[in-house]
Amino acid sequence: MSLPTAKDVKGVLPVVLMPYTDSRELHEDDFRRQADHMFQAGCDGFVVGQVSEVLRLTHTERLRVAELCAKSADGRGVSVMSTGAETAEAAVEYSRHAQDVGVDALLVMHPATIGLGEDEMVGYYSRVIESVDIPVIVHHAKSLAKQPLTIGAQARLLETYGEERVMFKPEAQPTPPRVSQLRDATGGRARVFEGDGGMMLLDCHGRGLTGTIPATEIAEIVVTLWRLLEAGDRANAERLGHPLSYLMCHMMNSTDYYLSIAKRFLKERGLITTTYVRGPSRHVLDDESWTEVNRTYQHLLTLAKELAR
C-alpha cells in the first residue's frame, strides 16, 4: 500500500470534539459516531486537533486516540492526528506512533510554553517532518503561540521538504492576508488550510486554499459552504457564510467557551453522550447566550440543507 501524500489531504476536514463517558473516560463509541457523522455529511476526512482537548489527554490516552483516529476513518477519507508537543523529542515519538498505527497525516503544533524564533521553529518542525514518511500540516495556533510563526519559517520548510511532505494551517491574525503572504512567498506552492471555524472562509477561499478545518458540530454547514465556493456560487455562499461568521464570533472567545457551546450542539443532536469539558475549565454557558447561538445554529443547519440540494 502506498503512503498518503499531501494531495490526498484536502477539502473539509473537521476536528473531532473529544467525547467522554459519565465517568470522565474517553468515549470511544462517541468518537466513532462523530467520524460516521462527518463522512455522512460529505467530509473528506477528519482531524484530531487542539480543540479535541489533545493537550489535556494523558500520554496513554493520546496513543489510544491516534489508534481510534486511524481506525475510524475506515477507508472513507483521510485521518489526521495532532502530534505536537513541548519538545521535539515528544513530538517525534507521538508522530512516529501515529504513523505506525495507520494515520494518514499529522497536524503538528509548535511548543506553547516558550516563544521560538524562526530558526528554532524550523529546527523543531524539521525534526518531526524527518522522523516520518506521511505528510505534516504545520499548525500555528494563535491562542497558544508565544510569538507568531513567521512566513519565512514556513517558506523555508516548504523549500526544504516540498509540497508533498508539508502543508500549513496558519492562524496568525489577520488570517486572510497571512494566507496570501504565504501563497506569494512560496510561488503558490503552499497547500494551506483555513482554521477559524469557517469564519474567514469567504475571504480565504479565493486566496488559494487547499481545504478547511472546522469542527464536528458545523461539518455539514461547512461542506455546503465549501462546495458553493468551489462552484463559484458566491451569492449563496454569502447567505451561509455570513451567519456562520456571526456564530463563530460568539464561540471563539476561548477554547473552553467554544467547547461548552459545540458540545451542547452535539449532545442535543445525539452525537455525544455528555457535554463534559476536561478541566481546568471554569466556563459555564449562560441561558441567554445559549438561546442566541442555538437560534443561529438551527438557521444554519436548515439553510445548509436547503442550499445543498
Tens digit of pLDDT for each residue in 99-119? Answer: 999 999 999 999 988 888 899
Residue ranges of alpha helices (H) inside 132-233 are 151-161, 175-185, 201-204, 219-230
Label residue 1 by pLDDT band (50, 70, 90). low
How much is the pLDDT for 2? Answer: 64
- Total Cβ atoms within 10 A of residue 108: 25
Label residue 171 by pLDDT band (50, 70, 90). confident
CA pair distance 200, 248, nearest whole angstrom? 10
CA pair distance 157, 64, nearest whole angstrom? 29
pLDDT above 90: percentage of residues in the chain: 85
CA pair distance 197, 214, nearest whole angstrom? 4
Residues shown for the chain: 309
How much is the pLDDT for 140? Answer: 86
Tens digit of pLDDT for each residue in 236-291? Answer: 999 999 999 999 999 998 889 999 999 999 999 999 999 999 988 777 889 999 99
Q: Single out the residue of 2, 31, 137, 160 nearest to residue 80, CA to CA.
A: 137
The helix/strand/coil state of 215 is strand
Give the mean model confidence (pLDDT) for residues 62-89. Answer: 97
Q: Is pLDDT of 172 > 80?
A: no
ω into residue 148 within 30 of 0, thus cis? no
- The residue with greater pLDDT, 194 or 173, is 194
pTM over 0.85: yes
Fold of the 6-234 domain: TIM Barrel (3.20.20)
The helix/strand/coil state of 50 is helix
Which residues sit in the known binding site for pyruvate?
Answer: 213
How much is the pLDDT for 283? Answer: 79
How much is the pLDDT for 47? Answer: 98
Q: Is pLDDT of 27 > 90?
A: yes
Q: What is the mean pLDDT of the chain?
A: 94
CA pair distance 19, 278, nearest whole angstrom? 10
Label residue 149 by pLDDT band (50, 70, 90). confident
How much is the pLDDT for 113? Answer: 87
Cell numbers that stand for 186 in this block: 512560496
Cell numbers that stand for 73 in this block: 476513518
How much is the pLDDT for 125? Answer: 97
Q: Is pLDDT of 136 > 60?
A: yes
Label residue 145 by pLDDT band (50, 70, 90). low
CA pair distance 58, 20, nearest whole angstrom? 13
Which residues sit in the known binding site?
Answer: 213
CA pair distance 264, 249, nearest whole angstrom? 17
Max CA-CA distance within the chain?
52
CA pair distance 17, 261, nearest whole angstrom? 11
Amino acid at site 263: K
How much is the pLDDT for 195? Answer: 87
Label residue 95 by pLDDT band (50, 70, 90). very high
- Total Cβ atoms within 10 A of residue 50: 21
Q: Is pLDDT of 309 > 90?
A: no
Question: Could you tell me how many helices (H) and strands (E) the chain has, helices first?
Answer: 11, 8
